[in-house]
């Protein structure tokens, strides 16, 4: 399936783990992308490593080291293989219950460990594809669209982080769709190199269904499935409204949340997206031209009879003293500000590193505010339902 070496990150400590590391370092089927004795401290390093499998060494011989596993889980959805040298009676069943993929008892030949790594990787990849592939019998997914008539207002950064939060915090099956068809930056901000894009999807002859859609998305380590924009700007016009309509119908069946990033102007695909959008977030930076353009956007939405209760105004990078106040904006637009996001210098650097801030620094104030927005846009109840269904065996 995957010819390239599997990216492995080693965390924790166990007797014999150093030998395992040495063995894996020379193995052609594995690429060691990092090590960290304490996963709690390794957050950003682990998130940035794009590891596909985590080997976690533990000396706790009876119980799964829950805080360590949680720290790993907070930054990556990659499968975890527990490595221990202690004969472990209750450990195996406890580990499997805790979502650990496998337990390896040391000493072990390197080839045996590589086999376990391959097994964990292939099972996890199959599960990710299956998540998209199943036409689950749950309520339709919600479409959250970010729009701003002005470039550089923060749509893409926000789309990537909201999607990450939906997938990681609430365990929602999340699709991140890049409809900035000419100059989309979603793939680069998520730090992925997609094999397929929406261009391949619209060019395919095969009828689009959940299973086919799963073949075009790229699974990000956060759990988000990404459908990127075409690689060449000239291919954008091939993404017709008719094809998009079909894509939305199938995506709503396969996912709990579909987050859509858009270009800074209305065109056919954006209009057809609006038709299918449950929550439209209008992103505005704190400057007069941006507010003027939001005013024009609101007029267009009125002409389209776009429901008022689906429009949410978000002021981005508030807090800086730029001489514009929230109540002045509200008065000018005749619309309440639904959400505010502070400026945070860590966001541009996370964009440049290709790691969503929600993964790199989940505790930052900005991410906290984004989390509150995510909750309001798609309330928890939906996630709770999804979890219940998952327990009943829908997934
Ligand atoms: N709250 C914030 N704090 C700090 N920087 C921010 C914030 N929001 C956005 N930025 C920065 O602004 C820059 C532009 O953001 P982004 O690319 O998401 O905008 P955009 O609306 O998608 O632009 P375009 O229309 O050109 O696609 C990014 O470098 C991003 O990190
Ligand atoms: Mg953008």
| 285 and 248 co-located in one domain | yes
From 153, 156, 157, 162, mutation site for ligand 1 pocket: most ligand atoms within 8 A of C-beta: 157
CA of 154 to the centre of ligand 1 (A): 3
| 160 and 106 co-located in one domain | no
72-131 per-position pLDDT tens digit? 888 888 899 999 987 667 787 788 777 788 889 899 999 999 999 998 888 777 666 555
d(C-alpha 374, C-alpha 93), whole Å: 34
pLDDT of residue 98: 79
| 120 and 32 co-located in one domain | yes
Of the listed ranges 132-141, 142-151, 171-180, the least confidently predicted one is 132-141
What mean pLDDT is reported for the chain? 88
Of the listed ranges 12-16, 30-34, 61-65, the least confidently predicted one is 61-65
| 359 and 288 co-located in one domain | yes
* Residue 1 located in a structural domain: no
Tell whether ligand 1 has an atom less than 6 A from the beta carbon of residue 198.
Answer: no
Which among 154, 184, 103, 186 is positioned nearest to 290, based on CA atoms? 154
Q: List the CATH number of the domain containing 119.
A: 3.40.50.2300
Q: Which residue has the tokens 């709690």?
A: 40
| 160 and 301 co-located in one domain | yes
Tell whether ligand 1 has an atom less than 6 A from the beta carbon of residue 354.
Answer: no
Separation of CA 125 from chain center: 15
Asked whether the predicted pLDDT for residue 264 surpasses 90, the reply is: yes
C-alpha distance from residue 36 to each of 33, 41, 70, 85 (Å): 11, 8, 15, 18
Separation of CA 367 from chain center: 14
* Residue 217 located in a structural domain: yes
Asked whether the predicted pLDDT for residue 279 surpasses 60, the reply is: yes
Instruction: Give the burial string for 275-314 (b: 16+ CB within 10 Å, else e).
Output: ebbbbbbbbbbbeeebbebbeebbeebeeeebeeeebbbb
Q: List the strands of the sheet with 174-178, edge to edge.
A: 218-219, 225-227, 174-178, 257-261, 142-147, 279-285, 311-318, 337-342
| 199 and 348 co-located in one domain | yes
Closest atom of ligand 1 to CA, residue 352: 29
CA of 359 to the centre of ligand 2 (A): 19
Closest atom of ligand 1 to CA, residue 148: 21
d(C-alpha 128, C-alpha 276), whole Å: 25
Q: What would the two tokens of residue 133 be?
A: 């592939």
Tell whether ligand 1 has an atom less than 6 A from the beta carbon of residue 297.
Answer: no
Asked whether the predicted pLDDT for residue 323 surpasses 90, the reply is: no
Q: List the CATH number of the domain containing 209.
A: 3.40.50.300
Asked whether the predicted pLDDT for residue 384 surpasses 60, the reply is: no
CA of 158 to the centre of ligand 1 (A): 8
d(C-alpha 143, C-alpha 260), whole Å: 7
CA of 156 to the centre of ligand 1 (A): 7
* Residue 10 located in a structural domain: yes
Helices (H), 218-356: 241-254, 268-275, 288-303, 326-333, 346-353
Tell whether ligand 1 has an atom less than 6 A from the beta carbon of residue 344.
Answer: yes
Asked whether the predicted pLDDT for residue 389 surpasses 60, the reply is: no
From 156, 159, 287, 368, mutation site for ligand 1 pocket: most ligand atoms within 8 A of C-beta: 156
Tell whether ligand 1 has an atom less than 6 A from the beta carbon of residue 133.
Answer: no
| 122 and 146 co-located in one domain | no
Domain count, the chain: 2
Which residues, including other chains, have CB under 8 Å from residue 183's CB and lie 6 or more apart?
229, 233, 263
Q: Where is the domain boundary, 91, 114, 133? A: 133
Q: Where is the domain boundary, 114, 133, 152? A: 133
pLDDT of residue 90: 77
211-247 per-position pLDDT tens digit? 899 999 999 999 999 999 999 999 999 998 888 999 9
Closest atom of ligand 1 to CA, residue 158: 18
Written as one string, the DSSP assignment of 368-394 is HHHHHHHHHHS-HHHHHHHHHHHHTT-
| 79 and 147 co-located in one domain | no
Query: What share of the chain has pLDDT > 70, as a percent?
Result: 91
Q: How confident is the model at residue 378 (pLDDT cuts 50, 70, 90)?
A: very high
Q: Which residue has the tokens 């057809």?
A: 272
Q: How confident is the model at residue 1 (pLDDT cuts 50, 70, 90)?
A: very low
Closest atom of ligand 1 to CA, residue 184: 27
| 159 and 98 co-located in one domain | no
| 126 and 160 co-located in one domain | no
Asked whether the predicted pLDDT for residue 367 surpasses 70, the reply is: yes
Q: Are 302 and 337 in contact (CB under 8 A)?
A: no
* Residue 40 located in a structural domain: yes
pLDDT of residue 372: 95
Peptide bond into 107 cis (omega under 30): yes
Q: What would the two tokens of residue 307 be?
A: 């429901």
Which domain covers residue 78, as residue numbers? 6-133
Q: Are 48 and 220 in contact (CB under 8 A)?
A: no
39-60 per-position pLDDT tens digit? 888 888 998 898 999 999 998 7
| 129 and 205 co-located in one domain | no
CA of 380 to the centre of ligand 1 (A): 27
* Residue 209 located in a structural domain: yes
Tell whether ligand 1 has an atom less than 6 A from the beta carbon of residue 152.
Answer: yes
| 167 and 102 co-located in one domain | no
How many CB atoms lie under 10 A from the CB of residue 1? 7
Asked whether the predicted pLDDT for residue 334 surpasses 80, the reply is: yes
* Residue 160 located in a structural domain: yes
Tell whether ligand 1 has an atom less than 6 A from the beta carbon of residue 178.
Answer: no
């Amino acid at each position: 399936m995957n010819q390239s070496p599997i990216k492995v990150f080693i965390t924790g400590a166990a007797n014999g783990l150093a030998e395992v590391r040495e063995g894996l370092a020379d193995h052609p089927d594995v690429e060691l992308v990092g090590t960290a004795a304490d996963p709690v401290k390794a957050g950003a390093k682990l998130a940035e490593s794009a590891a596909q499998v985590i080997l976690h060494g533990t000396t706790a011989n009876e119980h799964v080291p829950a805080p360590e596993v949680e720290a790993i889980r907070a930054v990556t959805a990659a499968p975890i293989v527990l490595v221990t040298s202690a004969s472990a009676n209750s450990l195996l069943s406890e580990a499997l219950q805790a979502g650990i993929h496998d337990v390896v008892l040391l000493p072990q030949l390197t080839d045996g460990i590589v086999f376990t790594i391959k097994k964990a990787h292939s099972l996890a990849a199959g599960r990710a594809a299956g998540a998209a592939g199943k036409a689950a019998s749950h309520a339709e997914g919600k479409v959250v669209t970010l729009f701003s008539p002005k470039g550089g207002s923060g749509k893409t950064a926000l789309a990537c982080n909201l999607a990450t939060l939906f997938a990681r915090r609430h365990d929602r099956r999340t699709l991140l769709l890049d409809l900035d068809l000419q100059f989309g930056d979603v793939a680069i901000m998520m730090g992925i190199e997609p094999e397929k894009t929406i261009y391949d999807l619209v060019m395919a002859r095969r009828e689009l269904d959940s299973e086919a859609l799963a073949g075009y998305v790229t699974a990000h380590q956060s759990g988000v499935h990404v459908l990127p924009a075409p690689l060449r700007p000239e291919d954008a016009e091939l993404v017709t409204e008719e094809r998009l309509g079909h894509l939305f119908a199938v995506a709503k069946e396969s996912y709990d949340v579909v987050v859509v990033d858009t270009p800074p102007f209305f065109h056919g695909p954006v209009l057809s997206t609006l038709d299918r959008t449950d929550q439209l977030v209008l992103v505005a930076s704190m400057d007069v031209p941006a507010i003027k353009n939001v005013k024009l956007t609101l007029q267009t939405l009125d002409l389209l009879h776009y429901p008022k209760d689906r429009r949410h105004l978000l002021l981005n990078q508030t807090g800086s003293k730029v001489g514009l106040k929230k109540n002045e904006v509200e008065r000018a637009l005749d619309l309440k500000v639904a959400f505010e996001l502070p400026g945070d210098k860590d966001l541009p650097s996370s964009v440049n590193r290709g790691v969503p801030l929600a993964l790199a620094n989940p505790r930052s104030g900005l991410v906290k505010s984004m989390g509150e927005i995510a909750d309001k846009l798609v309330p928890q109840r939906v996630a709770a339902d999804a979890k219940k269904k998952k327990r009943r065996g829908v997934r």
